[in-house]
Amino acid sequence: MQVSSSFKRLWWMIAAITVMIAMVVYLGVVPVVKSHHLSLGAIEQRLSQGFGSSGTIREQAVSGGMSRGGSFGRSSAPAPSAPRSLPSYGGGYSGGYGGGYGGGYGYRSAPGPVIVPYPTYAPAPVYVGTGGGGGGGGFLIVIVVVGFILLPIAFNYMQGGSRRFDDPAAAGSQSELLNDIVTVTRLQIVLLAGARDLQRDLDRIAVNADLTTPAGLATQLRETVLALLRHPDYWTHVRAESQTVAGREQAAERFERLSIQERSKFTVETLVNVGGEVQRRTMPGGPSQDVASHIVVTLLLGTADDRPLFSTVNSVADLKAVLQRLGSISPAYLLVYELLWTPQDPSDSLSGDELIANYPDLVTL
């Protein structure tokens, strides 16, 4: 078999590109990922120290509640069942690969020639001799065959990767649930402190929520939305953002960053429910002497939507529409949900100065 110079150049180009990609991943991506994990671990350690140690808590603490469930990982699907019978190929299957197929392609053991079949588009099997003669011709033929096998896969992967984010699936379609495009949403609502019954509702929702199933997670989100919709007269500020990410790992990274950013604003987490495990901490320093001013409720969501859930929120009407949109998310689309609110302890208060200092990006309703 003769191979033209253009084919040689093509395969050498593919090999060079593969080596370059491997070097870039090893030298550029791996160190960044490692350093990133270290930074997240250090921040989480700092949060846990603040959660359990009273030495790092300031004189006037701000309590917070947190409830979280779900994951960005794919749920394990059951293995497909084996077919009842296999079709016969010229005499049927006999004795595994060692015996080969009776009338079709067969694998021969050394020292005879080795057959490399590729029936998808190759007109016939390519025989590669196992002897020592012939110089490098056999090796070149192997490269050509492997190239023919890998080239369509590489092209399909590159085309699929270019379309993965530019061409999202139709809303509500099965493709939208199966691809890796994920939307991360943060909705932050500030209410006047007069909505004290909302704090009790959030405590009940967080403690009684079933965070181990998608249906229970969606129920908790729906109950939270209903509790907020019952207090529109107390709404004062809002912060809303919804961003679509072309990858579940990137989405998980963004979600964790938002979670740490919001949880770090609490001096102590007095109520925590993660995956159904409830923990309570007492409020240090006794009841707050400040006049209660506001309550901040934050909803963090990771959904399978291929588009942002909303654009901007600048009015009470916009906020109502967004809450109704979140409350209608189905369990299949809701991947991760985290509920945060402060103050959580009934004896605690959030002053106006603390609100301005910790939440500078709010929009007035």
pLDDT at residue 223, rounded to an integer: 97
pLDDT at residue 18, rounded to an integer: 77
The CA-atom distances, in angstroms, between 110 and each of 24, 98, 115, 272 are 39, 12, 11, 64
Q: Is the pLDDT of residue 104 over 90?
A: no
CB 181 within 8 A of CB 245: yes
pLDDT at residue 178, rounded to an integer: 85
Angstrom distance (rounded) from CA 237 to CA 288: 23
pLDDT at residue 331, rounded to an integer: 95
Q: Is the pLDDT of residue 10 over 80?
A: no
* 48 phi, psi to nearest 5 deg: -65, -35
Residue identified by tokens 């090999």 is 15
Q: State the pairing for strand pair 181-192/235-246.
A: antiparallel
Mean pLDDT of the chain: 75
The alpha helices in the chain, defined as continuous H runs, are 5-24, 30-52, 96-99, 137-166, 174-178, 196-208, 214-229, 248-263, 316-327, 352-358
Q: What percent of the chain has pLDDT over 70?
A: 59
* 297 phi, psi to nearest 5 deg: -120, 125
Q: Which one is predicted more confidently, 259 or 61?
A: 259
Q: Which one is predicted more confidently, 150 or 34?
A: 150
Q: Residue 52: pLDDT band by 50, 70, 90 thresholds? A: very low
Mean pLDDT over residues 69-82, rounded?
63
Structure confidence by residue, pLDDT tens digits, 274-310: 988 999 998 877 666 666 689 999 999 999 999 999 9
Q: What percent of the chain has pLDDT over 90?
A: 47
Q: Is the pLDDT of residue 118 over 60?
A: no
Mean pLDDT over residues 19-28, rounded?
67
Least confident of 130-134, 242-246, 320-324: 130-134
Structure confidence by residue, pLDDT tens digits, 202-231: 999 999 999 999 999 999 999 999 999 999
The alpha helices in 167-212, defined as continuous H runs, are 174-178, 196-208
Helix 5-24 to helix 137-166 angle (10° resolution) is 60
Q: Residue 38: pLDDT band by 50, 70, 90 thresholds? A: very low
CB 299 within 8 A of CB 224: yes
Peptide linkage before 80 cis (omega within 30 of 0): no
pLDDT at residue 237, rounded to an integer: 97
Element (H, E) at 85: none
Name the amino acid, one letter, at 28.
Answer: G
Structure confidence by residue, pLDDT tens digits, 178-195: 899 999 999 999 999 999
Q: Is the pLDDT of residue 57 over 90?
A: no
Mean pLDDT over residues 325-333, rounded?
95
pLDDT at residue 296, rounded to an integer: 97
Q: Is the pLDDT of residue 343 over 90?
A: yes
Q: Where are the domains of the chain?
A: 39-74+180-364
Q: Which of 21-35, 61-75, 287-301, 309-323 has the highest mean pLDDT?
A: 309-323
